[in-house]
Amino acid sequence: MKQVSFPKPFTHNHGPVQDVNEVFREQMTVGQRAADWIARFVGSWQFIIGQSIILVIWIVLNSVAWVFKWDPYPFILMNLVLSTQAAFTAPIIMMSQGRQAARDRLESHNDYLINVKSEQEIRAILDHLVAQDEALKVIYEMVHELKQRQDGEQK
């Protein structure tokens, strides 16, 4: 009779899967958190609507003011304020995007590690299935042989 053998049980020799967002958040400095908050705020509808309201008020007050016009038409001071704001927010947004790219690379590497672990586990499952197929084949042959003997004895 053919001996059936099974592979050794698969052992998980890796640490737990980590949440990349949590790991990345723990590594961020106060300045990086501030830059991300500013980038999120400047890129929101609240900021666009709020800034639009302030600009409209600025234009209206300087257009209809009879006594005190701090920035008459063509609103050079307003242009200076907007240019200064753009000069500061653009690098802050770029820093935030650079950090987002770094987080994406970290997440991509984590996905790769998980895929490697999954491939090892799938390979172990497939090896076990092959062993089960061989065991079932041996069992089938034994049952078939017993049935033939039984049929031979009944004749």
Is 150 part of a structural domain of the chain?
yes
Residue among 94, 90, 97, 106 nearest 26 (CA) = 106
For 147, the domain range is: 28-154
pLDDT digits (tens, 9 = 90+) for 77-126: 999 999 999 999 999 999 999 999 999 998 999 899 899 999 999 999 99
Residue 42 inside a domain? The answer is: yes
Residue 8 lies in a domain: no
- Chain-centre distance for alpha carbon 63: 50
**110 with 18: CB under 8 angstroms?**
yes
Question: How crowded is residue 36: how many other Cβ atoms within 10 Å of its Cβ?
Answer: 19
Indicate whether this model's pTM tops 0.75. Answer: no
Domain annotation covers residue 139 = yes
Q: Does residue 24 register a pLDDT over 70?
A: yes
For 65-80, the pLDDT digits (tens) are 877 888 988 999 999 9
The count of domains in the chain is 1
* 96 lies in some domain: yes
Structure tokens at 60: 């209206």
